């Protein structure tokens, strides 16, 4: 028996934190996953989802062989047959209908850099129908591009320079645990902490002040704070005059509504807005936005209004300040085009990721003949599940590459088993929070016939006549993406040796006052002839849709689960899982509902049944059902959500959702 060895590795999960790991390996098996104490940001601590990578790797539910559905039942087939048949189909589609008849449906279930090579495959094939936008953060990213030119955050330790810290719709304690640790430390060092959220979450519990808000109304709240700031003369005149354009427009906009009206709509008292104006003016004040905040039809405008508040208060480009949302600088360190070869794409069509199902059902010239799903589980994660199910069942060939038999995989004609992170080499980073890239070596062999995604692309490429494009080792692919970094003296070799490296990004973005907008300044105004910054309520609200609001009086949030990364862990948790419907106290009181009652939550799109829990101190008329649940455990809450895109077209409206609720037997 070999002695257990502790190896350094990296968490692959789509998460703010991108942790360094210590993985115990014994006889070609992973037996434990812990934190790597030497990682500069994550410092030896990891969450339950990270520890469960052990269960995920060793699970008896892993897919071990290629499967083909024959007469409605899956049968095991050899890889050779699966690859030959798929290559034949791809050739035929290309000749008869053109390559755009293939849809590549993907998400970002794995943060590995080499996961992007699926695009290399589809580009070399000739270009397929791809998805644009993002269910996750699309509205906010686009909003910050209009305002600043890009979406950049301050480096993690800069929070220790802040006098005030505003956590605006980010569930830090649950989704971003290392930032939570920093918040506790910043508080010890004297910073004041404010949490703005419809839910009194674990982060709210450590706040100096919790501001409860009606879901989707944060743009109004920001406008109210700006209004008070201008009334009290607290704005940063020199920043506004020297470094921005369009201030008159926003001053006019906030002047077009009274503080009282804002207070009534956002359900936040006037004096709270006055106080927050003073807090923002007491610089430096750092604002950390979450992603839940912008999953509304008005999501782009919400983020723009919050950006505007941060700008007007003069908290841009200063240590301890910032409109922190995402940190795209991190990913921009790598040369993606070398990996994905966009120049080989001859034909091209795009569907909105939100509307992918509707688009599949209505596509013409050509219609969709094949869907290939990678790093995604659309049947659980994409809004409006019924339509997704119809669309994904409607095509001639559905191919799903996954590690487990997910709800999406169950619909497939071919299911291809893939490796988990410890069975392949890659590097991992997240453009959400910190700016360290981690190396994840291959630690163990894959079980059964599971193969890396890259192996699958390579084998298909050989059969389709573009094998040369994949004739590289994993290390050579990583080197391609590292070209820019090598020029700056940061080498892949060093990363492989040290396991984590700091990327050369700006610690305090926009400090030089040079923005990457067309005007070179911060822009309160529109870009590219797009809509002006506006004050808009959510689509599903009494202001925009009074009939709907009468029928469905409650706002449904579908936030990220504590113990699972989206749909990735539920089947591994064990025990009897129950779908939990969390409601604000007033709903339980008004409807006479009690804890553990079986309830039905419904709207025109669908329904979900689950057991009631009370959300203490949540904003009135708010309900939450965590996302990611599999059919067998109660079903995805996306049965209820809308596939409409956000105002700027690039984000989802997953939380812009009205429902009703009743007790059932
Ligand atoms: N445990 C766990 N952690 C995760 C993930 C996971 O699945 N599980 N997923 C990872 C991924 S991919 C992402 S994108 C991030 C997301 O990280 P977060 O942005 O922190 O989480 P979300 O669940 O998207 O958003 C939830 C927060 O937004 C609040 N919220 C919702 N609507 C509004 C609103 O209108 N106004 C305000 N002010 N607040 C609102 C919710 O009450 C909640 O506190 O988390 C990452 N980390
Ligand atoms: N209602 C509602 N819906 C949501 C959200 C919400 O807040 N509310 N959040 C949205 C957000 S922020 C996000 S980011 C998306 C996430 O949506 P997805 O990325 O689709 O969700 P996951 O469950 O993380 O992963 C999907 C599948 O990828 C597989 N997978 C993991 N690693 C690999 C790999 O290396 N290769 C391959 N081929 N497959 C792999 C997993 O086994 C899993 O089945 O969901 C969105 N959907
Ligand atoms: S899921 Fe996030 S917090 Fe948990 S171990 Fe992975 S990177 Fe760290
Ligand atoms: Mo996400």
Structural domain harbouring 637: 546-663
Q: Specify whether 124 is located in the same domain as 231.
A: no
23 within ligand 3 shell (Cβ under 6 A)? no
Token couple for 230: 């201008």
State the average pLDDT over residues 562-580: 95
**How many angstroms is it from 18 CA to the middle of ligand 3?**
6
State the average pLDDT over residues 317-338: 98
Q: Specify whether 478 is located in the same domain as 345.
A: yes
List the shell of residues around ion ligand 4, using CB closer than 5 Å. 136
Nearest to 250 by CA among 225, 269, 286, 275: 225
Pocket test for ligand 2, best of 15, 294, 381, 442 (most atoms within 8 A of CB): 381
Beta strands in 441-569 (DSSP E): 500-502, 522-523, 554-557
104 within ligand 3 shell (Cβ under 6 A)? no
Domain boundary among 294, 325, 356: 325
In a domain, 534, yes or no: no
* Ligand 1 atom at minimum distance from 136 CA: 14
Q: Specify whether 177 is located in the same domain as 224.
A: yes
Q: Specify whether 192 is located in the same domain as 304.
A: yes
**How many angstroms is it from 12 CA to the middle of ligand 3?**
8
Pocket test for ligand 1, best of 291, 377, 381, 556 (most atoms within 8 A of CB): 291
Q: Specify whether 454 is located in the same domain as 584.
A: no
Instruction: Give residue 525's pLDDT.
Output: 83
Q: In this predicted structure, which of 157-161, 198-202, 531-535 has the lowest mean pLDDT? A: 531-535
Q: Among all ligands shown, which has an atom nearest to the Cα of 622?
A: 1
In a domain, 25, yes or no: yes
Pocket test for ligand 2, best of 566, 568, 635, 652 (most atoms within 8 A of CB): 566
- Ligand 1: residue whose CA is nearest its atom 44: 171
Helix, strand, coil fractions of the chain, as percent rounded to 5? 35, 20, 45
Residues 610-640: pLDDT tens digits?
999 999 999 999 999 999 999 999 999 999 9
- Ligand 2: residue whose CA is nearest its atom 17: 381
Residues 281-318: pLDDT tens digits?
999 999 999 999 999 999 999 999 999 999 999 999 99
Q: Per the structure, how many domains does the chain have?
A: 4
CATH number, domain of 562, equals 2.40.40.20
DSSP 3-state of 534: coil
Q: Specify whether 299 is located in the same domain as 216.
A: yes
Q: Is the peptide bond before 366 cis (omega within 30 degrees of 0)?
A: yes
Domain boundary among 502, 528, 559: 502
Q: Residue 529: pLDDT above 60? A: no
In a domain, 541, yes or no: no
**How many angstroms is it from 14 CA to the middle of ligand 4?**
7
19 within ligand 1 shell (Cβ under 6 A)? no
Q: Is the peptide bond before 295 cis (omega within 30 degrees of 0)?
A: no
% of the chain beyond a pLDDT of 90: 97
Domain boundary among 13, 34, 58: 58
Q: Are 309 and 322 in contact (CB under 8 A)?
A: no
Q: Specify whether 166 is located in the same domain as 221.
A: yes
Q: Residue 527: pLDDT above 90? A: no
CATH number, domain of 283, equals 3.40.228.10
298 within ligand 2 shell (Cβ under 6 A)? no
Q: Specify whether 279 is located in the same domain as 363.
A: no
Q: pTM higher than 0.95, yes or no? A: yes
In a domain, 518, yes or no: no
Q: Specify whether 117 is located in the same domain as 261.
A: no
Q: Residue 528: pLDDT above 60? A: no
Q: Specify whether 494 is located in the same domain as 393.
A: yes
In a domain, 522, yes or no: no
Q: Specify whether 143 is located in the same domain as 252.
A: yes
In a domain, 525, yes or no: no
In a domain, 519, yes or no: no
Q: Specify whether 476 is located in the same domain as 405.
A: yes
CATH number, domain of 337, equals 3.40.50.740
**What Å distances lie between residue 494 and 452, 467, 472, 478, CA to CA?**
25, 30, 20, 13
Instruction: Give residue 575's pLDDT.
Output: 87
In a domain, 493, yes or no: yes
198 within ligand 1 shell (Cβ under 6 A)? yes
* Ligand 2 atom at minimum distance from 107 CA: 19
């Amino acid at each position: 028996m070999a002695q257990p060895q502790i190896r350094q590795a990296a968490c692959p999960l789509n998460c703010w934190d991108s942790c360094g790991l210590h993985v115990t390996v014994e006889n070609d098996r992973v037996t434990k996953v812990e934190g790597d104490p030497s990682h500069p940001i994550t410092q030896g601590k990891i969450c339950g989802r990270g520890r469960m990578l052990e269960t995920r790797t060793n699970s008896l539910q892993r897919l071990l062989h290629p499967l083909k559905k024959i007469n409605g039942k899956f049968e095991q087939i050899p890889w050779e047959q699966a690859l030959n048949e798929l290559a034949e189909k791809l050739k035929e589609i290309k000749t008869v209908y053109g390559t755009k008849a293939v849809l590549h449906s993907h998400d970002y279930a794995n943060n590995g850099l080499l996961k992007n090579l699926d695009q290399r495959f589809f580009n070399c094939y000739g270009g397929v129908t791809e998805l644009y936008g993002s269910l996750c953060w699309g509205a906010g990213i686009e909003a910050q591009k209009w305002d600043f030119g890009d979406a950049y955050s301050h480096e993690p330790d800069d929070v220790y320079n802040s006098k005030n810290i505003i956590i605006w719709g980010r569930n830090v304690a649950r989704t971003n645990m290392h930032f939570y640790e920093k918040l506790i430390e910043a508080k010890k060092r004297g910073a004041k902490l404010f949490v703005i959220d419809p839910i009194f979450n674990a982060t709210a519990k450590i706040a100096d002040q919790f501001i409860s808000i009606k879901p989707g109304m944060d743009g109004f709240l920001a406008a109210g704070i700006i209004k008070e700031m201008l009334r009290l003369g607290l704005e940063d005149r020199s920043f506004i005059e020297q470094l921005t354009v369009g201030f008159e427009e926003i001053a006019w906009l906030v002047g077009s509504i009274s503080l009282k009206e804002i207070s009534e709509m956002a359900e936040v008292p006037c004096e709270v807005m006055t106080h927050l104006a003073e807090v923002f003016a007491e610089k430096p004040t750092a604002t950390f936005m979450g992603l839940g905040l912008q999953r509304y039809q008005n999501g782009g405008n919400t983020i723009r209004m919050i950006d505007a508040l941060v700008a007007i208060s003069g908290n841009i480009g200063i240590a301890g300040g910032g409109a922190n949302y995402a940190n795209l600088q991190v990913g921009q360190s790598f040369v993606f085009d070398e990996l994905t070869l966009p120049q080989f794409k001859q034909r091209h069509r795009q569907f909105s990721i939100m509307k992918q199902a509707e688009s599949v059902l209505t596509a013409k010239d050509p219609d969709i003949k094949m869907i290939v799903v990678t790093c995604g589980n659309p049947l659980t994660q994409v809004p409006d599940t019924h339509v997704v199910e119809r669309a994904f069942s409607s095509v001639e060939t559905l191919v799903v590459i996954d590690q487990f038999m997910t709800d999406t995989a169950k619909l497939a004609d071919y299911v291809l088993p893939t490796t988990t992170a410890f069975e392949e080499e890659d590097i991992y980073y997240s453009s959400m929070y910190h700016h360290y890239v981690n190396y994840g070596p291959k630690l163990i062999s894959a079980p059964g016939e599971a193969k890396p995604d890259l192996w699958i692309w390579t084998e298909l490429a050989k059969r389709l006549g573009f094998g040369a494009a994949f004739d590289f080792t994993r290390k050579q692919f990583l080197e391609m993406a590292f070209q820019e970094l090598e020029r700056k003296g940061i080498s892949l070799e060093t990363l492989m040796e040290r396991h984590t490296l700091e990327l050369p990004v700006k610690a305090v973005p926009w400090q030089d006052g040079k923005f990457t907008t067309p005007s070179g300044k911060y822009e309160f105004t529109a870009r590219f002839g797009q809509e002006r910054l506006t004050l808009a309520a959510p689509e599903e609200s009494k202001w925009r849709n009074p009939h709907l609001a009468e029928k469905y009086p409650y706002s449904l949030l579908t936030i990220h689960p504590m113990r699972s990364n989206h749909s990735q862990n539920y089947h591994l948790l064990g025990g009897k899982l129950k779908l939990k419907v969390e409601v604000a106290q007033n709903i339980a009181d008004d409807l006479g509902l009690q804890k553990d009652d079986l309830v039905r939550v419904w709207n025109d799109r669908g329904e979900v049944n689950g057991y009631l829990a009370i959300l203490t101190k949540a904003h009135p008329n708010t309900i939450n059902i965590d996302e990611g649940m599999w059919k067998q455990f109660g079903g995805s809450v996306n049965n209820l959500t809308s596939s409409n895109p956000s105002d700027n077209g690039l984000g989802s409206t997953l939380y812009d959702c009205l429902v009703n609720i009743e007790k059932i037997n």
